[in-house]
Amino acid sequence: MTAVNDTVRRVTDRVIARSETSRMAYLKTMEAARAKGPARAHLSCSGQAHAYAASGPDKDRLATTSVGNLGIVTAYNDMLSAHQPFERFPDLIREAAREAGGTAQVAGGVPAMCDGITQGEAGMELSLFSRDVIALAASVALSHNTFDAAVFLGVCDKIVPGLVIAAQAFGHLPAVFLPAGPMESGLSNDEKAKVRQQFAAGEVGRDALMAAEMAAYHGPGTCTFYGTANTNQMLMEFMGLHLPGASFVTPNTDLRDALTREGARRALSLTALGNDYTPVCDILDERAFVNGIVGLNATGGSTNLLIHLIAMARAGGIILDWQDFSELSDITPLTARVYPNGLADVNHFHAAGGLGYMIGDLLNAGLLHPDTKTVAGVGLEHYTKDPVFANGELDWREGPGESLNDRILRPVRDPFQPTGGLKRLTGSLGTAVMKVSAVASEHQVVEAPVRVFHDQDEVKVAFKAGELTGDVIVVVRFQGPKANGMPELHSLTPLLSILQGRGQKVALVTDGRMSGASGKVPAAIHVCPEAVDGGPIARLRDGDLMRIDATQGTLDILTPDVLDRAVVTPDLSANAAGTGRELFAMFRNTVGSATTGATIFGG
């Protein structure tokens, strides 16, 4: 077996040492819950009757035997393509549970919003907070204590992180995450982006834009670019909560249905009622999170996970920081090119060898901990295999030993670039992060005067008025979690790309977020301290000179005496109401910083 890379081991040891007190307290809580045994037995007869009253053919089995009972937590809705396939999943899961001698009940639902729909809209200001709402809702669903294990149905940006946070609150239970899979490939992501830029430049009308978008987003399943949703799916394999190879199988196929049924059976097999008890708290240890960070870097995944992984880890008493991500990025080669880091989509990536090939190659290079616990058994070696469904049976076979398309997927020995896709930036402006995997080397250093905005709509107005000429660093501040919920600013990508295409040196600096679909324009995001906390970003003025250097990891104000200025304090009342924002004042008032996961849970 290949020895684990020295940096991987060192970062892991540092995380373990940093987390010792909080992790020990968490595991002690889980052990206390575990010691109580299956929770249904402790309910009163009346409580049990309430829990089983509508369970139909499973009613007697629940009341009189000790078979395992699965709690289904679902993010189903039929407005979102990624979650519409979940409509069929509860019946598949119940049927599989009965065949295995167990039962399954829908414990509850959680909200699922789409950042693609709310981009540039007021609703985006609820997006990040929806993660913690999902965690709360899932915890309510499982709080009835009638379940021996759980299966979680979720895909997109905030849903999977929220469900993982909840799964760790009930970490004494086994859990399997069941994805829906990506939609089939439609209009290429590159062509879609081109039409968006043409529309932003006024070269085509809205009819052309609408036609392109409908051709790209055309059926059930996850969007096919490698944004936050598909990064989530990758992580669930690297961290051992999916069945091997489950992430990128398209919806409503025999293989997808077989994986769903097997996920239910597998969850039942891991309960404390059997001999293979494997609770979530044993799977999601420090090594699993380090493996996830390596996967994030190797695939060039979404910057949103720099926040979500920190919040997910803290739910299990594990403390990560951005330096851990940066040091692992320095030794993890970028081995995948999936849009926006390349022209391929996730279906092409899957066909080229996908996660099975990548995990095997990273294991051989010593860049992953090989001996973590997973829902498939001990060891990530399980995740080098591909699922197949033939003659009515689900099985796993050896995955490809070589990439089947080196324009999409390459080995560690011959990567697209020698380091990962994420970079931590520090300097006189504070701390930030940048996704560099899709940023050409000539654009990774930008020194230019700043133009300061307090709203992304102001940027669009200035662009249309022709004001953004010459080299420019666009600063959009008061976009942090405390100011307005830290919305994504992805709707700025087309116009910033146009400026870059004109030959201007251009970059974005913000205490907000960018989408997992962002790429070619350098963006220093998640700036901390945020403006509303009086960070240096709140002292900038138009014309101040700044330098962003992704190669050296620096973010500096070059104009003298900026830090001696008074902090700007704009009127933020417009962020407080409308589209439900008034109901989230408590979140804005209590949320922690981006560096601690931008969460209300002790961040």
Q: Which residues are annotated as a binding site for [4Fe-4S] cluster?
A: 156, 223
What residues does 453 pair with on adjacent strands?
A: 476
Distance CA(276)–CA(281), nearest Å, equals: 14
Distance CA(361)–CA(355), nearest Å, equals: 10
Q: What are the strands, taking DSSP E only, across 251-297?
A: none
Q: Which of 134, 130, 131, 140 is nearest to 170 (CA)?
A: 140
Residues 67-89: b if buried by 16+ CB within 10 A, e if exposed? bbbbbbbbbbbeebbbbbbbebb
Whole-number Cα distances in Å, 417 to 93, 407, 414, 444: 42, 13, 8, 14
Q: Which of 216, 224, 214, 212 is nearest to 183 (CA)?
A: 224
Are β-strands 523-528 and 506-510 bridged in parallel, bridged antiparallel, or unpaired? Answer: parallel
Q: Which of 483, 453, 477, 518 is nearest to 128 (CA)?
A: 483
Q: Which of 297, 493, 326, 531 is nearest to 425 (CA)?
A: 326
To the nearest 10°, the Cα dihedral for 539, 545, 499, 518?
A: -60
Distance CA(510)–CA(489), nearest Å, equals: 9
Q: Which of 77, 353, 82, 130 is nearest to 229 (CA)?
A: 82
Distance CA(536)–CA(562), nearest Å, equals: 8
Are β-strands 149-153 and 69-74 bridged in parallel, bridged antiparallel, or unpaired? Answer: parallel
Q: Which H or E element spans position 8?
A: helix 6-18
297: number of Cβ within 10 Å: 25
209: number of Cβ within 10 Å: 16
Distance CA(537)–CA(547), nearest Å, equals: 13
Distance CA(235)–CA(288), nearest Å, equals: 10
Q: At what angle do helices 254-269 and 89-99 cross, to 10 degrees?
A: 50
Amino acid identity for residue 508 in this structure: L
Residue 332 DSSP class = S
Binding residue ranges: 156, 223
54: number of Cβ within 10 Å: 9
By the 8 A CB rule, do 241 and 266 touch?
no
Distance CA(575)–CA(129), nearest Å, equals: 14
By the 8 A CB rule, do 199 and 208 touch?
yes
